[in-house]
Structure 1
């Protein structure tokens, strides 16, 4: 029966009795039509008139539907087999004769009643066991069920062979989608043989035709996608019916995958490769959730391997630890790889950590994403004001980037914060606002009125305009000059006005910074 283990070890198979398979033959017994029974004469020895009379007498009490017969072959041992006979469609409780008829030897018919049984309440009969291997010689036989009251009869045929069929596979193990070759023989001449796995053949089971010697052409069988482990292959003849089985071990697919990087930052591209999937199958790649949409679709080659460069790009929404799941869409096996999203850790410096109001500084940084836009804010909280936009280089660095001018009216320490547009990790640095302490020298430092003097100022704001005033009056400058990059300005010459006496005060005032420096000129009376 199905589930048995074949004892076949080689092509020389132990000779044993092959019991035939039932060809289900269903006969129409209702509706007043005559039953069609191609074996009726052989079984009854008459022309069928008695059976017709019985059907006429019991037509009103017969159950609906045509009677059925089912024959199932089973191997009792390596040299013996039985036929289990069952049926349905008879009157409840009526006597049902189980008859067998056939041709054991040339020109000699046999016919005898195997057993008489009572139909069940539902009109079914079963299981009547016919020890065919012990009682019948090789040849074709018919078995029938005949109701004593209803007159209903139904027949099926089977075949007894001289030897037990043999089944030899080219391999006893393999993976789904791989092919093996199966050699088989000693079936009933010309019969149809079905191949099934782990049970009786279904309507979709592949079929093969035995030749007149009962042999099959070599079967090329593709291993289906079934769970890994031990399975049984059955070859079952429609007349010889005893299922021949072989143990077969289905190997599973055990894939593995690798990534070019298992930890990276935003916008980095990752390569995928893997092996061990089913040949040619589609592989869906999921990020963390197998029920989500695949982020990548791959295709295995004929060896179940794949390689995809730049397959996956880390996005700014991805954080922390993640799992990439690779699922074969045919084999249904999967492989996983852990992937960690590294936080961006940028750093930031200024070209100078101290500058006066109106002065400027540039930025130096590392650890930003390549080519990302970096926004610079004055401040570090929600009230921070954007003051500059920078662009990171190929390696994510900032090299003396930008030109931030220290605003006037500020004092103390300013906080400057840079945030990458993609990495979104803020990094801050401080800028100290310098207090300008300019000084000046008057040349010459003394003389009579009308002397031409020049005021030499230092440490003003580079590039600002510096004005020279006489005394405390800053309404109208005597002269102006532009400070150089170092904050130096040479203003003048100007003449010491007439009427000046004693020590005259001169003042230099930066027009941007407002910084002041003072000097003096000593007026000397003429003749002294």
Structure 2
């Protein structure tokens, strides 16, 4: 309901009128005594007007200061005839009353003035109406300064209604209303939420119909909600309360009892139109299927899923929940359990017999694997009824009384077992010879194996034969193997199907090997030849000498060999071992080694170092390397000749006088011979050219009796090491003045010692160092 009250309009207009009582007393023209004057185009008016100020009678081209009320506000220049003219705007804040305006010449203070009267403003305000509604038009007319008027303002009282007072979630709601402001922008909100759901504009009469369409949220289900319609101009509104209904969906499964591996679907209604329905179950929070309802909120045989085999024998609750309506249905379903059963063609079998196993109660079309222990025997797909039949099987060889067979469904994991009793074969075998040497051939035959089975005959190597319809084999030739230290070799016959075995023990005759050398006593380095017999025919014989490989030889068809030659080693013994690679029979042969008796002579036994000497020896091993020593000096290399002798020419090593031991040692035979050589002393003479001298003086060394061309070394008691070296001539003499007494030597005795590096005989003389 729109209400409007009429307010009385009162207008109070105050018009102050300023009377100018003495206008005749104002002077229209003011001039100085010298003739300057100033005129105004108006002598009264309101503040803020612009006057035209003119004057004359001043000097030509003079600067004048223009003052208003005693304050200079601007300047102006006169023209050639002493006149001027300029516009002058008065301040808008001037008070009422007379106002002095003057012009003063800058050079001689020539002054002219005039008077202007400032009149007050007389304001007035008129209204076309004394009252109005918000946003209504009010006509105001007025003049001059401030005034005021009072206007009465009315109020809007809008109302509204929904398109329906009861609606389901997801439905569309619109609104009708009136008594809003003309052209008022209206916004729609819900409950306490300030979010604007819709907005529209009222018409010129402040009304609207089927406006502001809003889709009712699904979260509003099952409750009353208030929608607020508020005008943006009128700042008034209307509240509309609407009741939102609720969905009660229903659903059913395709079957309430299912077997693992079967498919289940769902039919439902009373969901929201086009609602997305999610399918979950109590044992798994994951979404199993997503169903979209039709425009009526229904679906049929939708959300197909396969019941897992792991769910066998349990109950499950499936949940169908609409995403829009946030409501759903819970459906309880029972899952059955698979119980397969196996049935063999026979419950008692011998190894090698054919059999089959049938099975029922598996999941339709699933793959089923048949195993015995850890061995997979067969696999096949079950038919549509869950049945299998494993045919063409052969019973394995076993010593167990019973074998267990298991069939397992690969999808359902359902399994069944069955036991089959295992029969046994008890074969035996015979040989034509029960005592022979390795490498010999015997003939064996087996009896009572499985008819027709393959029998493997083994003794070192393997060969096969086939049992006849009675389970007996043919005669098989077997070569008794070499190797090993056992006294018996066993021939084994094994049935491939029955797994049954039979054995034939053959006692092994030993090999009686013998080896004979060409000699049992000889000197080291000489040759010896061997022959042997009693080895295995054709075998390789390895030969060692003192535990070191010395060669190989091959026995002939009779187990014999000849012609193996070897050089006897140097040392105490020569032990040969001959070992057959097949017979493994070792034979040891020992050859005694003769000793060496060596001798050594010299062509002279006395002399000084450097004297020629020849060493001669005999009794060593032919061609062996020899080590020769002369005192502390080693000569060589020297090699004995084919007769064990040698000759070696050299010189006596330089050394101190005395007896020197000379030796010759065979590097292979170890034989040694020795003798003694007497090294003669060297008698030398050593003198000085002068026995005293100042530092810086040359000292002359004079000597004789030294060895030819030997180096002479000079040492002193004041220094460490050699201080001077020179060489004797070919006769062992010297006269050398190359040494200078060092300037650092103090006065006093100086011991000078001369030593030949070959003669090794030191001689010392005292030299006196005089003052500087």
TM-score scaled by structure 1?
0.49
Higher CA-based Rg: 2
TM-score scaled by structure 2?
0.35
Higher strand share: 2
